[in-house]
Amino acid sequence: MEKQILDGRLVADSVKNSLKERVENLIKKGITPCLATILVGDDPSSETYVNMKGKACEKLGMKSIKIHLSKETSTEELLETIQKLNEDDTVHGILLQHPVPSQIDERKAFDAIDIRKDVDGVTSFGYGQTALGFGKFPSCTPAAIMKILDYYEIPIEGKHAVVIGRSPILGKPVSALLLNENATVTTCHSRTTNLAEIVKLADIVVAAVGKPNFIQGDWIKPGAVVLDAGYNKGNIGDVDYEACLVNSSAITPVPGGVGPVTISMLLKHTVDAAEESLKAN
């Protein structure tokens, strides 16, 4: 069996290339697609991610606004910041970097984002739309996983997909997207008692747990496709890559797998939102 390393940088480049002309056309019409990122606190890895997102925008001729709030920020202050960005017609997408410091009601902040600007797919309403199958902006990592499967023409329909993790912007929405594509989906989590047994049934494994090298090689059914959405400290995925490579037919590395595609989907959603704003006016 031929083994495929799923190259996220390649997929991300193809997504970004498809945006170039759309960005140019918008600029000709006087609209520069703009993503506003909000970072609360000073976690260095969050700062790295937010900077990567801003740079990716600029590389494509898009605009990025970076808002950095102190780690003492209150929910009210954050809501005010979001409200201003909602009202700013030059801003097309808003990304509130997760996680936020513990004094902040993150759900309340996410849900304050105007649905038209929710390019990161974090609002309750956006999740509901995604789950029902008509959402415009699914969360970016779930969207990236689907894009990788699509790019490599990996069939989903009728396959057993096992998602490990049920977070609001990763495990839950990716389970929904896979279900919408007619996979049989099992969502596992920290209280799942027979995890290894369930993963062994999977044709498609999505790792979204946040534990380095957690997914073991002998859990992978021969021929299974493995997607690693983990982003642990030191650029380590949730999948024990070398061990899982053995049985898998296709696998994403970390780095260079799901991560770069996540960012390209964020850009795509921002361009989509900018085009929509043009239609609305």
Summarize the annotated binding site for NADP(+) as residue ranges. 165-167
Q: Is 251 in the site for ligand GUE (CB under 6 A)?
A: no
Contacts with ligand GUE in 113-172 (CB under 6 A)?
Answer: 120, 122, 140-141
Task: Summarize the chain as % helix, strand, coil (round to 5).
Answer: 45, 15, 40
What is the spatial distance between Cα 86 and Cα 118, in angstroms, rounded to a whole number?
10
CA-nearest of 40, 55, 151, 50 to 102 is 40
Residue 263, exposed/middle/buried by CB under 10 A (0-12, 13-18, 19+)? buried
What is the spatial distance between Cα 181 and Cα 186, in angstroms, rounded to a whole number?
14
Site for ligand GUE (CB under 6 A): how many residues? 19
What is the spatial distance between Cα 167 and Cα 224, in angstroms, rounded to a whole number?
23
Between the alpha carbon of residue 261 and those of residues 129, 145, 229, 264, the distances in Å are: 22, 8, 11, 5
Per-residue binder mask for ligand GUE (CB under 6 A), 37-66, x = binder = -----------xx-----------------
Residue 60 near residue 16, CB atoms below 8 Å: yes
Q: Which of residues 179, 256, 275, 278 is near ligand GUE by CB under 6 A?
A: 256
Least separation in angstroms between residue 281's CB and ligand GUE is 27
Per-residue binder mask for ligand GUE (CB under 6 A), 1-40, x = binder = ----------------------------------------
Least separation in angstroms between residue 100's CB and ligand GUE is 9
Q: Is 96 in the site for ligand GUE (CB under 6 A)?
A: yes
Q: Is 230 in the site for ligand GUE (CB under 6 A)?
A: no
Residue 122 near residue 98, CB atoms below 8 Å: yes
Choose between 29 and 55: whose C-beta lies nearer to ligand GUE: 55
Chain position carrying tokens 């594509």: 181
Choose between 120 and 181: whose C-beta lies nearer to ligand GUE: 120
What's the angle, vertex CA 218, arms to CA 216 and CA 224, rounded to 5?
Answer: 90
Q: Find the catalytic residue in 7, 120, 240, 272.
A: 120
Q: Is 98 in the site for ligand GUE (CB under 6 A)?
A: yes
Active-site annotation holds for 97:
yes
Least separation in angstroms between residue 28's CB and ligand GUE is 30
Residue-wise DSSP of 13-63: HHHHHHHHHHHHHHHHTT---EEEEEEES--HHHHHHHHHHHHHHHHTT-E
Active-site annotation holds for 43:
no
Q: Find the catalytic residue in 16, 53, 147, 172.
A: 53
Q: Which residues bind ligand GUE (CB under 6 A)?
A: 48-49, 95-98, 120, 122, 140-141, 231, 235, 254-256, 259-260, 262-263
**Residues annotated as part of the active site:** 53, 97, 120
